[in-house]
Structure 1
Amino acid sequence: MKKLITLSFLLMNCILMQAQTYKEWVHKADSCYMVKNYELSVSYYENAFKIEQKDYADLYDAGCSASMAMRHKKAFKWLNLSIDKGYENIAHIKIDEDLKSLHSEKEWNKTIDKLQKKLDVIGANYDKVLERQLAEIYTDDQEIRGEFMNVYRATKPDKKKIDSIGKIMERKDSINLIKVMKILDERGWLGKNVVGTQGNQTLFMVIQHSDLKYQQKYLPMMREAVKNGNANPGNLAYLEDRVALREGKKQIYGSQSSKNKKTNKICIAPMIDPDNVDKRRAEVGLGTMAEYAAKLNIEWNLEQYKKELAETEKLENTKP
């Protein structure tokens, strides 16, 4: 009887695992990561990767969870798979706080060398000077933001530290903006065929972090770059949304969140036509609102969002 019960239990487990889709497992893994339950996150990623191992971003995130869970062997396995499947951002992997525990391992240098060799082949015809300059700008932009978020997310955030790091971040952003504006004004919006995926992403990030007047200046240039295949449509969607909200309008793709002034909770900022937002997001290569909201630790309920939209617009002073 005991064997029969055990067999039934295993069979039920298999059925339950098959019932979960790849995206559902990844969503569970992301949710666990957000609440710092790294061991369970790793477990859910393992279930996801039994179904498929195609998305380099998911594999990279899984490597981060494994690193934070001190599962170093698995972290390196997933990071290397991520590189095989298309990961290219060497500046980010070097400064990612989640991967700090891996730096003392021999396998770390092998992993970085593997990625560098891959990039050397891909980027044989890149503008090396600009690629290197943009890599330095990327590191400047992301490192300080990593420091800021570490303090901001602490159990008891230190306001003085937050203000201090915020000022440093503003200064770095100003310097980076001057450098990127010079590139854009002289060369236009350079595609990844000239400065690589990371360099192309850096152009967007610096403009995304700039003041409204600069975003308005370079938004048309980025739109044209997307038409010509020189910029990422998903990145453009983020910039379109940020500019719209800063101008007091509704966003289009639901990429921007805000803090509800009444409840003090993070929510998705006002958007046009919420019923068709997933269709618009799909057109620019973004995942569904439910998937995106989950990464922000926000529960997405379309009907509830629509009910609360009028009040949210009023609180945000959004134009009709």
Structure 2
Amino acid sequence: MKINILSCILIILIITSCKSGDKYKPEGLRKMTHTEQIEMAKAKLSFNYENVVYKKENGSVISKDSLSKYFSDENLTKDIYLNDNDEPKIIVFRKATENDKKFKRNLYAIYNEKIVEPVITIDINCDEMSKILDKVYALDQNMRIDESKYDPSIDQDNLVTVVSLLEKCGMPTLKEINQKQMNAIWFVFQHGDNYHRKKYFHLLKNAAQNGDLKKSKMALMEDRMLMDDGKPQIYGSQMTDDRENGGYKVYDLENPETVDKRRASVGLEPLSEYVKQWDITFDVKQR
């Protein structure tokens, strides 16, 4: 008899503990889907969050004074709950899974993506290709040596020039121009927008395969394209702000335990050495 009573008590305790561990879900509201959030991001739309209540995953309310730390915590994600009029009423912060983190990166990349119009080409004299690219190189590098001279309109003008050159004259080789002039083309796309970078990437990649550009440069460009698309990078060349500790950190990296092997294949030094220029320590054991 005593055994039966103890068994009942144990079952009750188990049931109670399970219920207490349940995640909070607002009643009468529906959770906004990832697809809906993506569609809003593409349309560059946002909600009015003035009357929204913010809660932890156990259901307790988050004060407005402490909200900033929840928004800045990369290990948290938020679920948006809508009423019948598709208005946000409650937002629940919870621990982010790896899939949540990938979705957040993708969502932010869409919101931050600039609307870029294709370049309107200008007239280019292909016989003046070397002289044109020498000028492009000088304009790009001079303003980056002296940051006080930085002017984004120069990048745009260089992009128009190089795109026009490629469209009219085709991708040159080292038989037609020198290495500095070839690098000028790479600089323009590396410092340009992601739309044109992705559009002409195949031409630059082919040039690298033919020995006209260094493979290491294409690795940097590929990482930048991935970062701008909100995806993990491959070679670890891109840094991002470290919100928690200040300074910089390596942007999200695919398979960090084998990154040095990938870097070596394109002529890059070990990542632990590369990141020292940002005062970053990379100590992931390589295999």
Indicate yes or no: 2:227 matched with 1:245: yes
Q: Which residue of 1 aligns with 2:181?
A: 199
Q: Which residue of 1 aligns with 2:99?
A: none
Change in 2 beyond 3 A, CA 1:298/1:189: farther
What does the per-residue CA deviation read over 1:3-46, in whole Å, with 9 as the maximum and x for residues that have no partner?
xxxxxxxxxxxxxxxxxxxxxxxxxxxxxxxxxxxxxxxxxxxx
What does the per-residue CA deviation read over 1:115-147, in whole Å, with 9 as the maximum and x for residues that have no partner?
xxxxxxxxxxxx973222211111111111122
Q: 1:221 & 1:239 partners in 2: Cα distance?
A: 13
Change in 2 beyond 3 A, CA 1:301/1:229: same
Indicate yes or no: 2:213 matched with 1:231: yes
Structure 2 counterpart of 1:130, one-letter code:
M
Q: 1:197 & 1:291 partners in 2: Cα distance?
A: 26
Where do residues 256-267 of structure 1 align in structure 2 (5 Å cutoff)?
256-267=238-249
Between the two proteins, the alignment pairs up a number of residues equal to 161
Q: Assess if the C-alpha contact under 8 Å between 2:179 and 2:212 holds in 1.
A: no
Candidates 259, 284, 292, aligned match of 2:266 = 284
Deviation at 1:301, TM superposition (A): 1.8
CA RMSD of aligned residues (A): 2.0
Q: 2:266 & 2:128 partners in 1: Cα distance?
A: 30
Higher helix share: 1
- Segments ≥4 residues shifted beyond 3 Å: none
Q: Which residue of 2 aligns with 1:95?
A: none
Q: Which residue of 1 aligns with 2:65?
A: none
Q: Which residue of 2 aligns with 1:176?
A: 158
Q: Which residue of 2 aligns with 1:129?
A: 128
Q: Assess if the C-alpha contact under 8 Å between 1:188 and 1:221 holds in 2.
A: no
Change in 2 beyond 3 A, CA 1:187/1:231: farther
Q: 1:192 & 1:285 partners in 2: Cα distance?
A: 20
Q: 1:237 & 1:172 partners in 2: Cα distance?
A: 25
Structure 2 counterpart of 1:206, one-letter code:
V
Question: TM-score of the superposition, structure 2-length normalised?
Answer: 0.52
Q: 2:279 & 2:169 partners in 1: Cα distance?
A: 39
SS at match of 2:249: strand
Q: Assess if the C-alpha contact under 8 Å between 1:241 and 1:256 holds in 2.
A: yes
Q: 1:298 & 1:192 partners in 2: Cα distance?
A: 36
Where do residues 291-302 of structure 1 align in structure 2 (5 Å cutoff)?
291-302=273-284
Higher strand share: 2
SS at match of 1:258: strand
What is the percentage of aligned positions where both structures have the same residue?
A: 28
Q: 2:213 & 2:169 partners in 1: Cα distance?
A: 14
Q: 1:284 & 1:189 partners in 2: Cα distance?
A: 22
The higher radius of gyration belongs to 2
Indicate yes or no: 2:210 matched with 1:210: no
What does the per-residue CA deviation read over 1:238-269, in whole Å, with 9 as the maximum and x for residues that have no partner?
11000001001011111111111222211111
Structure 2 counterpart of 1:192, one-letter code:
L
Deviation at 1:189, TM superposition (A): 2.7
Q: Assess if the C-alpha contact under 8 Å between 1:251 and 1:271 holds in 2.
A: yes
Q: 2:167 & 2:278 partners in 1: Cα distance?
A: 35
Deviation at 1:232, TM superposition (A): 1.7
Deviation at 1:280, TM superposition (A): 0.7
Structure 2 counterpart of 1:212, one-letter code:
N
Q: 2:212 & 2:146 partners in 1: Cα distance?
A: 31
